[in-house]
Amino acid sequence: MNSQVLVNIKVGIKVKIDEINSDEATQLKLLSLGILPGDTLEVTGRSLFGGPISMKHENGTFFALRRSHASLIKVTSI
């Protein structure tokens, strides 16, 4: 399957993280949320007007990411 950026994934779609293309500070922030390459996420909601995207991690936790951060994460649909 083709890699896409997380910001373009529609609600209800499950994806696997392929890579994170960001600076060290952003990678540490994502790491603190438990987001690593190889993890599975499901997009659960999208805010209007460019707001954050809500997701569910494979371990059952819910969180939201800024679209700017989500645009740095390459994923593959599963």
Domains parsed from the chain with CATH numbers: 4-77 (2.30.30.90)
pTM over 0.75: yes
The pLDDT score that the predictor gives to residue 55 is: 96
Q: Which residues are CB-contacts of 14 (< 8 A; sequence separation ≥ 6)?
A: 40, 41, 42, 77, 78
The pLDDT score that the predictor gives to residue 1 is: 63
> Which of helix, strand or coil describes residue 17?
strand
Q: Position 20: which residue type?
A: I
Strands (E), 4-68: 4-5, 14-20, 40-46, 53-57, 62-65
The pLDDT score that the predictor gives to residue 4 is: 96
The pLDDT score that the predictor gives to residue 56 is: 96
**pLDDT tens digits for range 8-62:** 999 999 999 999 999 999 899 889 888 999 999 999 999 988 899 999 999 999 9
